[in-house]
């Protein structure tokens, strides 16, 4: 989808025209040509629309016919950004059903809860997601719309439209990575694709092989990897947008390209375990957006990519492993592998780059999936201000977060008589304990752990979201870094 700004409607007849209307107000247009065309066909029309009600009409325009997509909107509704994105998603579905290639969007003067640039950033970030498809392995491909959208707006909104488009593209990049098959998106292939994205968008990528990780003492990461026939890859991305002396923001994403559970083999849903690298996908997508927008902040991101498989060489329940940090870990459960790989990734980031803060993201535990469902992710912060900054982004990102308790009693449950830490202690608070386990490797760096839970993938299609990967987390990480450019 390509967006352009125009001051008024041209002489061509678009396939569709979008107009947001105030609820319970008569149909009106900001563009005089549209108003004249409508009045000529519907003189004295009393049509009004309720909130998010969509009405479709055919209208003669510029010696042709267009389809009007009229949608009511109440700017006083609670959580208006959420409602606006939902309205845009439904419009995207309608455009797909029409097969529209050329679209005109009238001015958003009837939507008043935010300024025009913010609204158009949401338009450009949300509407293109209706075109997303992952049909690589289908014999019959889904239609490609190659849609051009002309927006009636001030030229000062061009940057907002471009930013929204970049974010939509980056979300789709993350979706592609999550949806790809595990026998295709191996650790080596994930590293290769990351390198290609870095070359395209301008961030650097370094890839460490098994030998380099052994030299660094990454005992946790390599233990998880040792049951797979596929070689692990440790991926380091860097964007140097700030001053050379400025410490970077560090991002760590879970990169388990397939998770069988190891010797604690999973009992169900193994067909969906190619999604287990969704944290890595979010981090990679965010780095694409950060570099494309040339944010003036230094950022480093790390992904410890491997498979967790069953083999004669697999690490065992009951093993004691030594981490890169020097701490030892008792492996109670080989299916609690993501936290092991990310612990070494965190140590690498902290000791190599000395970041100002570290954000680690993963779809990590069934505990969070069960507790929060498909509404929000969960986060544990060592500094309340970090969580507040993330939670404060929910309006513009649509990505919601609930705060885990940071009570020190949970840390006591990580103790083991066999090692410094237990990777999956009994006690029921699995999501919280996973966060505290990872917090043990921050070495004093301000830290936010995010468990995406069920948010990175869906088994049910909806407007703007087919079944599969969602790209959750990309917008949060991007906007977090953007706001930190000012503070």
Cα distance between residue 239 and residue 91, in whole Å:
36
Catalytic residue among 266, 322, 411, 484: 266
Gap between the Cα atoms of 249 and 481, Å rounded: 8
Give the Å distances, CA to CA, from 432 to 4, 215, 379, 428.
46, 32, 9, 9
Please say if 482 is a catalytic residue.
Answer: no
Tokens of 118: 């913010």
Q: Do residues 331 and 319 make contact, with C-beta atoms less than 8 angstroms apart?
A: yes
- Among 349, 366, 362, 240, CA closest to 302: 349
Angstrom distance (rounded) from CA 477 to CA 487: 15
Known active-site residue 192: no
Q: With helix as H, strand as E and coil as C, how does the chain read?
A: CEEEEECCCCCCCCCEEEEEEECCCCCCCCCHHHHHHHHHHCCCCCCCCCCCCEEEEEEEECCEEEEEEEEEECCCCCCHHHHHHHHHHHHHHHHHHHCCCEEEECCCCCCCCCCHHHHHHHHHHHHHHHHCCCCCCCCCCCCCCCCEEEEECCHHHHHHHHHHHHHHHHHHHHHHHHHCCCCCCCHHHHHHHHHHHHHHHCCEEEEECHHHHHHHCCHHHHHHHCCCCCCCEEEEEEEECCCCCCCCEEEEEEEEEEECCCCCCCCCCHHHHHHHHHHHHHHHHHHHHHHHCCCCCEEEEEEEEEEECCCCCCCCCCCEEECCCCCEEECCCCCCCHHHHHHHHHHHHHHHHCCCEEEEEECCCHHHHHHHCCCCEEEEECCHHHHHHHHCCHHHHCCCEEECCCCCHHHHCCCCCCCCEECCCCCCCHHHHHHHHHHCCCCCCCEEEEECCCCCEECCCECCECCEECCCCHHHHHHHHHHHCCC
Which has the closest alpha carbon to 456: 302, 291, 253, 299?
Answer: 253
Active-site residue identified among 22, 193, 339, 389: 339
Report the catalytic residues.
266, 339
């Amino acid at each position: 989808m390509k967006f352009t700004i125009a001051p008024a409607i041209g002489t061509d007849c678009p396939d569709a025209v979008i107009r947001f209307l105030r609820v319970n107000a008569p149909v009106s247009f900001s563009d005089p040509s549209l108003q004249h065309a409508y009045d000529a066909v519907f003189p004295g029309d009393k049509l009004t629309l309720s909130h998010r009600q969509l009405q479709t009409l055919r209208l003669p325009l510029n010696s042709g016919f267009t389809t009007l997509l009229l949608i009511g909107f109440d700017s006083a509704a609670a959580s208006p950004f959420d409602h606006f994105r939902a309205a845009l998603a439904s419009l995207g579905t309608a455009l797909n059903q029409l097969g529209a290639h050329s679209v005109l969007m009238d001015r958003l003067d009837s939507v008043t809860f935010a300024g025009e640039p913010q609204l158009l950033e949401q338009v450009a970030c949300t509407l293109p997601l209706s075109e997303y498809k992952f049909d690589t392995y289908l014999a019959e491909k889904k239609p490609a719309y190659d849609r051009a959208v002309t927006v009636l707006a001030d030229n000062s909104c061009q940057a907002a439209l471009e930013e929204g488009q970049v974010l939509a593209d980056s979300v789709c990049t993350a979706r592609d990575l999550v949806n790809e098959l595990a026998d295709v998106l191996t650790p080596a292939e994930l590293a290769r694709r990351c390198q290609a994205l870095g070359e395209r968008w301008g961030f650097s990528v370094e890839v460490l092989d098994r030998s380099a990780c052994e030299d660094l003492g990454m005992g946790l990461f390599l233990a998880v990897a040792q049951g797979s026939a596929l070689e692990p890859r440790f991926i380091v991305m860097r964007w140097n947008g700030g001053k050379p002396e400025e410490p970077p923001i560090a991002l760590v994403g879970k990169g388990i390209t397939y998770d069988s559970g190891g010797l604690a083999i999973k009992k169900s849903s193994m067909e969906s375990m190619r999604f287990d690298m969704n944290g890595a996908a979010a981090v990679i997508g965010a780095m694409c957006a950060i570099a494309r927008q040339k944010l003036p902040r230094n950022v480093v991101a790390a992904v410890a990519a491997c498979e967790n498989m069953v083999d004669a060489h697999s690490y065992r329940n009951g093993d004691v492993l030594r981490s890169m940090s020097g701490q030892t870990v008792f492996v109670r459960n080989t299916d609690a592998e993501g936290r092991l790989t990310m612990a070494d990734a965190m140590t690498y980031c902290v000791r190599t780059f000395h970041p100002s803060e570290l954000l680690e993201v993963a779809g990590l535990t069934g505990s969070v999936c069960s507790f929060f469902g498909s509404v929000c992710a969960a986060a544990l912060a060592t500094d309340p201000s970090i969580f507040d900054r993330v939670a404060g982004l929910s309006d513009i990102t649509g990505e919601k977060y609930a705060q885990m308790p940071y009570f020190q009693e949970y840390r006591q449950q990580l103790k083991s008589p066999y090692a410094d830490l237990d990777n999956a202690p009994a006690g029921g608070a699995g999501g919280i304990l996973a966060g505290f386990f990872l917090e043990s490797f921050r070495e004093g760096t301000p830290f936010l752990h995010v468990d995406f839970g069920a948010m990175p993938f869906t088994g049910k299609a909806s407007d703007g979201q087919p079944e599969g990967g969602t790209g959750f987390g990309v917008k949060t990480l991007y906007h977090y870094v953007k706001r930190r450019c000012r503070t």
